Chain A
């Protein structure tokens, strides 16, 4: 018997613009001990479908159809759509539990993790404090938290991101539910940590026999963990198949395109070689030269500052794309901001377009701003919400005296919009009327308005869906080829950097551990961190991924051995 049986589920939300249907006639089943991945881009209804299983929809939602959830203990099932609040409370935790996307917000910062794990036990029957604590310790040990007897009294902030996610999984597991709904459980985590959490989820399925509904947009994660995949598009399930079949012979047109859009490592090597050959012989000047660059953030009174970048040396030559890769907190964004003069460089030397940035004054750097473009990570907030797209794109032209007003600059703005493949009429829209991908293209248009020599792109595609990301990357590559600007491309995703970059630099805790061409860094990584990073990256192919998983395990074992022998 299946753990959950969704029959013809439809969910509508009441919004300011009237009713909007988010899920449209979805039918799915999950068997015991099975991992079902629901994939789709943002807005496809995957999260709403999964939240319906727990009855976690907001008040503005109405649903029809049936979600039959079988009880973990034995026979019988509950229809979540029809059951009342009390029934829902009984089901949650015992029959179905949830793992949230952002572990740092899913845990209450003022209680110890042990207390929070026991909270689920207390909600479903009387448990003494001692019993609760014992159970919490046991479950923490099972999810791989070292030294659980001590750690059970720790507060969430004392754990790292990956460990917090382990605690969240422990909370979900403590009542041994038949089903866990994991909503993008690894999206907020670094690649290397992601691999560990995926391992843990696999272990949960094998040891506890728990079924998992995995919601994700990352096809690599799907290939790594899922047994079966349901692809959702615009509220409907367009295809359902077991993982191997889906990746080898996708049936639906949408699935094919989705899979084709996923970037993978090794894509860019050929392109980079061609570009390198073209450039060979023409000695180009270095636009950015960092030599032992250090960036420190000042600490609070009486405390030492935080050193985000620690003695980094690199160079960006004219017309060259440098890809900067690293996990969160590695200092990659800080370097980008320092080059743009948004953050003060504090030590070493950083020369941008001939100006020394350590101790630079804004007045001296201002003339060079004409030659620097910047694309921000979040397309949602990088436009003034009260100006139209045309006014936003015209802003650099006005500031640098190339145009008197937005109307005056309109001709150039239209050219720019067409260059980034946006229709001219979009210039009259407001930023919130554009989708994320369109906004990011407009952002690219703005950064290119003054024909800069250097473009800094700070994770420009990390907020976008895979399909949209593919297009923005393609556009970026074409424009770079055409206009020949140099670029610093910052990303946490090796595959994305690989597509665009001529050279790749890998940052780790503020140190530059490796740099070289794509073929060098990705083909034959020298530094153990780069190797681990590469091995952790899940590829969208279940067969290859299974091999890579083994390789990663071997690599980790080797590392821990060498770590012990040192």
Chain B
């Protein structure tokens, strides 16, 4: 949108979502955010460059010097050892990031659109439509999510086990569980925002329902989405791993998947073969930890009451220009800003 006169704009760095929070944070909150960001970045880099980084393919059983051999302890050729099936553990851990990232993206993209749209419509229109949707969402919510995911996986994959089908089966089954979450959050926000004065003022102006919904309510209701997104992403990984562990995941020949590897490593643990379970397990823990740290610290930083601030020295700082000189000259462009500064504290939203 073209804006003719220039106003003091915040710099781009300050307006980018995560970067802004990073600059804003202090102390422990900053530590949490930085740690989470580092882990998440490593995860994403590994996923994107898996073919370059991983020493072997995820389904590779032999190289030029012959078969890897099953359950080999960590060595120079296989840093993390090999699995009972004879795969290289390190390679499968690295390739596993790719599967995890794909599932997160597909699951979140699928659920976010449906969830947000349903929530918006349900919250804004209300009435019987709202009641029906809430009951359906609650019913889905009441199901054990893993059980639901298993059913969905069976229905969707139908016994196939290539990468795309496997990833989609996992992603869609997670989607079914996630839609009610997005639905509920957006619906609650919509119901709250619907009562705000700016929505009423739009109604008084005569704006149509769809305009109010998409111009005024939608953007305000979706501000919390990045937080749910990060928290849901970690849940998506856990659900995927759970599916794989229970044997509803992706076959080792189609893609690497940590839950499947953990399942196969079950019998190894008792016979003292630790490397087959440890590394996929650690991968799951780290990725979930990293994403959760980012989500939690974003959550804290978004709330002014939880947000940490730099401590100030006694009686330091300038007196805020909160007041107006009564009866003073008002129509002085330029002079206004110095007279009336924002903020009587009433609206830090």
A residues 307-350 near B (Cβ < 8 Å) are 340-342
Question: Is A425 a contact partner of B322 (Cβ separation < 8 A)?
Answer: no
Given contacts A407-B3, A424-B5, contact A234 B314 (CB under 8 A): no
Contacts of A340 in B (CB 8 A): 204
Instruction: Give the CA-CA distance A379 to B176 in the complex, in Å.
Output: 41
Q: Does B13 contact A (CB under 8 A)?
A: no
Instruction: Give the CA-CA distance A40 to B323 in the complex, in Å.
Output: 9
Interface segment, one of A60-68, A177-185, A264-272, A507-515:
A60-68
Question: Is B206 a contact partner of A366 (Cβ separation < 8 A)?
Answer: yes
Most buried by A among B326, B341, B344: B326
B residues 273-319 near A (Cβ < 8 Å) are 304, 307, 309-319
Across the interface, name the chain A residue whose C-beta is closest to B202: A395
B189 nearest CB across to chain A (Å): 13
A40 nearest CB across to chain B (Å): 8
Given contacts A14-B312, A16-B309, A261-B327, contact A433 B342 (CB under 8 A): yes
- Contacting residue for B315 out of A63, A429, A471, CB 8 A: A63
B29 nearest CB across to chain A (Å): 13
Question: Is B206 a contact partner of A42 (Cβ separation < 8 A)?
Answer: no
Contacts of A463 in B (CB 8 A): 346
Instruction: Give the CA-CA distance A296 to B19 in the complex, in Å.
Output: 51
Across the interface, name the chain B residue whose C-beta is closest to A25: B315
Interface flags for A461-479 (1: CB within 8 Å of B; 0: not) read 0010111101100000000
Q: Does A13 contact B (CB under 8 A)?
A: yes
- Contacting residue for A21 out of B304, B320, B341, CB 8 A: B320
Question: Is B5 a contact partner of A260 (Cβ separation < 8 A)?
Answer: no
Question: Is A13 a contact partner of B205 (Cβ separation < 8 A)?
Answer: no
Question: Is A435 a contact partner of B312 (Cβ separation < 8 A)?
Answer: no
Across the interface, name the chain B residue whose C-beta is closest to A463: B346
B114 nearest CB across to chain A (Å): 23
Instruction: Give the CA-CA distance A381 to B348 in the complex, in Å.
Output: 10
Given contacts A11-B315, A385-B220, A428-B3, contact A396 B205 (CB under 8 A): yes
Interface flags for A367-408 (1: CB within 8 Å of B; 0: not) read 001101110111011111110101110011001100001110
Q: Does B264 contact A (CB under 8 A)?
A: no
Contacts of A424 in B (CB 8 A): 5, 333
Interface segment, one of B85-93, B192-200, B235-243, B247-255:
B192-200
Interface residues on B, range: 35 or more
Across the interface, name the chain B residue whose C-beta is closest to A9: B315
Contacts of B205 in A (CB 8 A): 369, 395-396, 399-400, 446
Instruction: Give the CA-CA distance A374 to B332 in the complex, in Å.
Output: 27
Interface flags for A131-160 (1: CB within 8 Å of B; 0: not) read 000000000000000000000000000000
Q: Does A258 contact B (CB under 8 A)?
A: yes
B residues 205-231 near A (Cβ < 8 Å) are 205-208, 211, 215-216, 219-220
Question: Is B346 a contact partner of A384 (Cβ separation < 8 A)?
Answer: no
Question: Is A381 a contact partner of B347 (Cβ separation < 8 A)?
Answer: yes
Instruction: Give the CA-CA distance A422 to B323 in the complex, in Å.
Output: 17
Contacts of A438 in B (CB 8 A): 336, 340
Q: Does B321 contact A (CB under 8 A)?
A: yes
Total contacting residues, chain A, CB less than 8 A = 89
Across the interface, name the chain B residue whose C-beta is closest to A342: B200
Instruction: Give the CA-CA distance A24 to B317 in the complex, in Å.
Output: 10
Instruction: Give the CA-CA distance A43 to B313 in the complex, in Å.
Output: 21
Contacts of A431 in B (CB 8 A): 347
Question: Is B204 a contact partner of A374 (Cβ separation < 8 A)?
Answer: yes
Q: Does A235 contact B (CB under 8 A)?
A: yes
Contacts of B341 in A (CB 8 A): 435
Question: Is B200 a contact partner of A24 (Cβ separation < 8 A)?
Answer: no
Instruction: Give the CA-CA distance A374 to B219 in the complex, in Å.
Output: 23
Given contacts A423-B336, A425-B7, A437-B340, contact A21 B319 (CB under 8 A): yes
Contacts of A370 in B (CB 8 A): 206
Instruction: Give the CA-CA distance A437 to B322 in the complex, in Å.
Output: 12
Contacts of B31 in A (CB 8 A): none
Contacts of B3 in A (CB 8 A): 388, 390, 407, 428
Instruction: Give the CA-CA distance A20 to B309 in the complex, in Å.
Output: 12
B303 nearest CB across to chain A (Å): 12
Question: Is A384 a contact partner of B216 (Cβ separation < 8 A)?
Answer: yes
Contacts of B5 in A (CB 8 A): 424-425, 427-428
Of all A-B residue pairs in the complex, the 4 with the closest CB atoms, nearest first, are A43-B322, A19-B317, A467-B326, A428-B7
Which residues of B does A touch, CB under 8 Å?
Answer: 1-7, 24, 196-198, 200-208, 211, 215-216, 219-220, 304, 307, 309-328, 330-334, 336, 340-349
Given contacts A16-B304, A443-B201, 10 further A-B contacts (CB under 8 A): A19-B312, A40-B323, A42-B322, A60-B309, A62-B315, A380-B347, A425-B7, A434-B340, A465-B324, A468-B326
Q: List 23 A-B contacts (CB under 8 A).
A: A21-B317, A42-B345, A234-B322, A261-B327, A342-B204, A366-B206, A378-B197, A383-B198, A385-B220, A399-B202, A399-B206, A407-B4, A423-B336, A428-B3, A432-B343, A434-B342, A435-B340, A435-B341, A436-B344, A438-B340, A446-B205, A465-B324, A468-B324
